[in-house]
Structure 1
Amino acid sequence: MTPDKVQALFTRSDGSYLCARWGRPIVPVIFGVEDATLSVFKGAIEAVVTLAGHRMAETDPELGANLMVFFCRDWAELAQVPHLDRLVPDLFGLCARLEDADANQYRIFRFEPSGAIRAAFVFLRMDAHLAAVPAEALALSQAVQVILLWSDRAFTDVSPLAQAGETLILRPEIAGMIRAAYDPVLPPVAQDASHALRLAARLGPGPH
């Protein structure tokens, strides 16, 4: 991973650089799935949090849960979730925009005053495409995409996951990136592209 490739993972569509990690222990809650899928998702989140060297907790003293994952069949279902409109600004407008775009997933982040991640909301509409994705792959992919604030284009063309024989794993460079971004020496949020150089230096030399 060259510094340029690292920088691209955190450079947004508008050209700005932004990398942020969680500033508090992660407390996930998942709505709309069976127990088997629930355990897969919680296991994936725990694995990625452990990889980052971060922490999970049973409850967030301020929010209760701070990582909320919602499964639905239709975006209009979200408007019927009690009190969700208090947590998500313009929920009805968002549902309409997602429906118009025929989107099947969407993530919203909230931030601490420092800029670190405070909370995240993940919305998954189980269309034919997502329904065909194995639960393990969907869970691991979503866990990766909420452990850091990546560019909105980071995984558009290439998945963060790879197949190693019959085992699904994180691509080594993405796993390394997560570990590097959670290095306590680095700031929890960075908006200067020079931060990418510091990340790249922690990844070590790649294979030749």
Structure 2
Amino acid sequence: MSLDLTPEEIQALFTRSDGSYGFARWGRPIAPIVFGVQDETLTVVKGAIEAMATLAGHPMAETDPELGSNLMFFFFRDWAELLDVPDLGRLIPDLAPLVARLQAADASQYRAFRFDDTGAIQASFVFLRMQGAMAELPAETLALSQAAQVILLWGDQAFAETSPLAILPETGATILRPEIAAIIAAGYDRMMPPSANDASHALRLFARLQAPTQG
């Protein structure tokens, strides 16, 4: 399978605003928890995470030995609500200034990551303000998009202009873009490192995208 991505395009997906390259994948089983939604939406979000973990060939778990849950989704209407979440300030340093910045920017989403000694993802916190366009999205679309953006550490502008999702014209179904799915699978290849700060890593991802698929 050959996908129409150049090494430069792959590199751009993991390049931060300051020009540095940064890649990381999960280093431990993912144990998710979701706050602020009804049971139906909870099932959809967890299903999207499970689908992404299956794609990556990465395990999930009921609990994390250190945090209980290491992937936390928060759904809310106003950023100020985060200030009332018990103990959240212990998980997110400088929570009050962060909330102020997100309010000032009228942001709709924010992701924070923690890393282990190898640079792999140890925990992630996803904050989604359900107002405006974000609130209009179907639950399946929102969940799949967020799961894709948290299965790897992408560059902060990776999906600013192009969604990681695509719509199948035949059925209207929303799917993960094939090239993004391929990059996720390549990033979790057991021969690849759990984290990388050198742009040559993008060439190794590119090489795996060019390899013929195994039957």
Pick the TM interval, shorter chain.
Answer: over 0.9
| 1:85 maps onto 2:89 in alignment | yes
Q: Distance in 2 between matches of 1:173 and 1:43?
A: 21
Q: Quick one: which of 7, 11, 16 aligns to 1:12?
A: 16
Paired amino acid for 2:183: M
Paired amino acid for 1:177: I
Q: CA deviation at 1:166?
A: 2.5
Q: Distance in 1 between matches of 2:181 and 2:114?
A: 23
Q: Quick one: which of 32, 37, 40 aligns to 1:28?
A: 32
Q: Quick one: which of 128, 132, 136 aligns to 2:132?
A: 128
Paired amino acid for 1:203: L
TM-score of the two chains, using structure 1 as the length reference: 0.97
Paired amino acid for 2:152: L
Paired amino acid for 1:133: L
Alignment of 1:104-115 (within 5 A): 104-115=108-119
Specify the alignment match of 2:57 in structure 1.
53
Q: Which runs of 5+ in 2 are unaligned?
A: none
Paired amino acid for 2:185: R
Q: CA deviation at 1:205?
A: 7.2
Q: Distance in 2 between matches of 1:84 and 1:11?
A: 29
Q: Distance in 1 between matches of 2:77 and 2:151?
A: 25
Q: Quick one: which of 191, 194, 202 aligns to 2:200?
A: 194
| 1:40 maps onto 2:44 in alignment | yes
Q: Distance in 1 between matches of 2:16 and 2:88?
A: 27
Q: CA deviation at 1:113?
A: 1.1
Q: Which runs of 4+ in 1 moved over 4 A?
A: none
TM-score of the two chains, using structure 2 as the length reference: 0.94
Paired amino acid for 1:191: N
Specify the alignment match of 2:164 in structure 1.
160
Q: Distance in 1 between matches of 2:162 and 2:142?
A: 14
Aligned length: 206
Q: Distance in 2 between matches of 1:205 and 1:187?
A: 18
Q: Which runs of 5+ in 1 are unaligned?
A: none
CA-based RMSD:
1.0
Structure 2 SS opposite 1:13: coil
Query: Cα deviations across residues 131-170 of structure 1 (Å, max 9, x unaligned)?
Result: 1111001000000000000000100110000111222110
